[in-house]
Amino acid sequence: MNEAMVRSVPAAFSSDEFFKRSRARLTFDVPRGLVDPDVIPQTGDPGTDRMLEIIAKEQPVRPAAVLIPVVDHPEPTVLLTQRSPDLAEHAGQISFPGGKIDATDATPLDAALREAFEEVGLRPEFVEPIGYLDLYGTGFGFRILPTVARVKPGFRLAINHSEVVDAFEVPLSFLMNPANHQVHSKEFRGMERSYYAMPFAERYIWGATAGILRVLYERICLS
């Protein structure tokens, strides 16, 4: 058993089916919008899209990469982290392992693997990268490129408590069930924008993490 906590619920589909779909639908082509400020990631929500346009004009594009670690249990899970409350950005929030892309990172994938190892000690030999998901823009000025990956069970985590206070696993079937995708809204400079939330037990998964999970559902689970 991994040190990260696993809660079991009936699986909507097998690991093999999920990874087969992911390999068929994802590539490692890096989108131009990761570094081009003139390309605004489209979210499908007019308020959020307008917010991203405003943010892009006010501050430089900050490329970031995250890992979506799908653990290959009989009932697959997604490994998530809870960020330290002392961080300057996204303090205390539920996140994927990941962060800013450094100049020393050859690719966004390299950045995601580096960050996963630095944050929670997830060793690269347990990780089989599958492909990039869609580029995701945030209200904090980040352009996030997620890498979907198959993770072999049996890893042991070593949490860097200066960045992360906890790591845990959530059933993929829960996260890929649209019945668990709540839609909330709030105001941004007089405009209404919506965001996803996926509460799971005592964990409140929302914002960019929930939004990226929704994109994963739309790309991989929908026919």
CATH code of the domain covering residue 35:
3.90.79.10
Q: What whole-number distance in Å separates Cα of residue 111 and Cα of residue 100?
A: 8
Q: What whole-number distance in Å separates Cα of residue 174 and Cα of residue 55?
A: 32
Structural domain contains residue 94: yes
Residue 185 pairs in a beta bridge with: 194
Domain containing 176: what range?
A: 15-221
Structural domain contains residue 5: no
Structural domain contains residue 117: yes
At residue 130, the 3 state secondary structure works out as strand
Structural domain contains residue 172: yes
Structural domain contains residue 8: no
Q: What whole-number distance in Å separates Cα of residue 38 and Cα of residue 32?
A: 10
Domain count, the chain: 1
Structural domain contains residue 2: no
Q: What whole-number distance in Å separates Cα of residue 199 and Cα of residue 100?
A: 26
What single string gives the DSSP state of each residue in 54-70? Answer: HHHHHS--EEEEEEEEE
pTM for this predicted structure: 0.89
For residue 147, what is the DSSP state?
Answer: E
Q: Which two tokens stand for residue 74?
A: 């009989």
Q: Which of 127, 117, 108 is nearest to 28 (CA)?
A: 108
Q: What is the pLDDT of residue 187?
A: 77
Structural domain contains residue 6: no
Q: What is the pLDDT of residue 61?
A: 75
**pLDDT tens by residue, 161-178:** 888 899 999 999 999 999
Q: Where are the alpha helices (DSSP H) in 60-102?
A: none
Structural domain contains residue 35: yes
**pLDDT tens by residue, 14-61:** 788 999 999 999 999 999 999 888 888 877 667 777 777 887 777 777
**pLDDT tens by residue, 55-86:** 777 777 789 999 999 999 999 999 999 987 66
Residue 25 pairs in a beta bridge with: none
Q: What Rg, from alpha-carbon coordinates, does the chain have?
A: 16
Name every residue whose Cβ is closer than 8 Å to that of residue 100 and which is 6 or more positions away in sequence: 62, 63, 64, 111, 142
Q: What whole-number distance in Å separates Cα of residue 122 and Cα of residue 126?
A: 7
Q: How far is CA 215 from CA 145, 166, 177, 218, 222, in A?
A: 12, 24, 12, 5, 10
Q: What whole-number distance in Å separates Cα of residue 122 and Cα of residue 96?
A: 12
Q: What whole-number distance in Å separates Cα of residue 218 and Cα of residue 204?
A: 21
Confidence of residue 111 (pLDDT cuts 50, 70, 90): very high
Residue with tokens 């005592």: 202
User: Is the model more confident about 87 or about 132?
Assistant: 132
Q: What whole-number distance in Å separates Cα of residue 8 and Cα of residue 48?
A: 34
Q: What whole-number distance in Å separates Cα of residue 71 and Cα of residue 14?
A: 12
